Structure 1
Amino acid sequence: MSFLMRAPEECGSWEWELGGVAPGLASGLDVAARMTAVLRGHGLLEPEQVEWFWFVYGVGGVGIKTVLPVRGRLDPADLRGRVEASRPSGYPDARVGDLSVSGRGVWIDADGEERREERLVVLSVDPDERELSADVAVFHDVWGYFDFRGVPHPEIHRRNAPRLAAALGDLDALLGVKAEEGEMTYFGRAEGYGIATPDVIDGRGPDLTDRL
């Protein structure tokens, strides 16, 4: 398999509530940079851009999205200046919503060949002024035992699932708090540091391609 189908919703996600970290944009960018470095070290996220929507307290979203290109690593100090400089001129009180870091990551096919895929892993950090939080989500079937058609692919699972599990464990250690499993979607749910095995009928999982 060399072509990956991407689900419109995550098939697994993990969340960290960072009550011990000072909230706000500076801390959010620092956390995003450190988490990205961990994911990059595991080959799961080579950051290419940071994006977010702007909002105003008491009003809500203003319908403006900003995308900043980055190259390989996040520099929190540089990014903070670029973020502040990109504030919409018509909304001087606008604040930064969830910071989403995306780029390419490496997955390994059944023959052991490394392949690169856009948005293999997506990292989000919410720089809320009250409490910082972070989220890691995956949208492809390489992390589970079955592909989206319900066909077992044990070699792909064996080559990729442990890499994701190791990265999530390292993120727990970095942040000093254990991740909570995100909500279940049509395409799956997190279980521990992996994707939960679905109900199996006659050796196959569910066929989820009707929503792809």
Structure 2
Amino acid sequence: MHLLRSLDDEQVFQRVQGMRPVGFPEAEMGDVLVAGAGVWVDENGARRSEYRLVELTVSPERLGLSAEVSVHHDIWGSCDFRGTPRPEVQQQNAPRLAAALKDLDDLLGTVAEPGEATYFGAAEGYGVAEPMMVDGRGPDLTDRL
């Protein structure tokens, strides 16, 4: 479903409910994936649009609401996926991610738990953990892109 409104708009909820299968009027909504274009800032300060820069999955479970945030870009850490240090890119973007994650904690009234580490990195606090550096470079992760 493509949205042109804010997620907290009442019409969004009504549209989601309207997607219930006709043959299953008692069906309940499962996970909701929120994906779209995000904006990041390059080393020169130029703003760039990137599809699926960040994803939010919300799960309305019986025990309570849960949310998962996933990032899919190398702009949050100190090195790009080739291992080249890019501190100016990290300085432009990592604080924005940290602020958004903190806002999500405040909204949900809880402190987020970091998810499992992946080949590309691990969550640490409100950001991405620093990679192990060898001779001033991070790991080259391009073999899995």
Q: TM-score, normalised by structure 1?
A: 0.64
**Amino acid of the structure 2 residue aligned with 1:117:** E
Partner of 1:125: 58
**One of 132, 137, 142 as aligned partner of 1:204:** 137
- Give the unaligned 5+ runs of structure 2: none
1:113 equivalent to 2:46? Answer yes
Structure with more of its chain in strand, by fraction: 1
Equivalent pairs, count: 145
Deviates more, 1:81-90 or 1:188-197: 81-90
CA distance in 2, matches of 1:200, 1:84: 49
CA distance in 2, matches of 1:112, 1:211: 28
Partner of 2:117: 184
Equivalent runs, 1:66-85 vs 2, <5 Å: 68-85=1-18
Q: Provide Cα deviations, 1:142-190, integer angstroms capped at 9, x if missing partner.
A: 0000110111111101111111111212222222211111110111110
CA distance in 1, matches of 2:64, 2:108: 14
C-alpha RMSD of the superposition: 1.5
**Amino acid of the structure 2 residue aligned with 1:100:** L
CA distance in 1, matches of 2:76, 2:13: 33
Q: Provide Cα deviations, 1:109-149, integer angstroms capped at 9, x if missing partner.
A: 00011111111111111011332101111110000001101
1:167 equivalent to 2:100? Answer yes
CA distance in 2, matches of 1:108, 1:150: 19
- Give the unaligned 5+ runs of structure 1: 1-67
Partner of 1:195: 128
Equivalent runs, 1:138-153 vs 2, <5 Å: 138-153=71-86
CA distance in 1, matches of 2:11, 2:137: 49
Q: TM-score, normalised by structure 2?
A: 0.92
% identical aligned pairs: 57
1:181/1:106 CA distance change after superposition, 3 Å: same
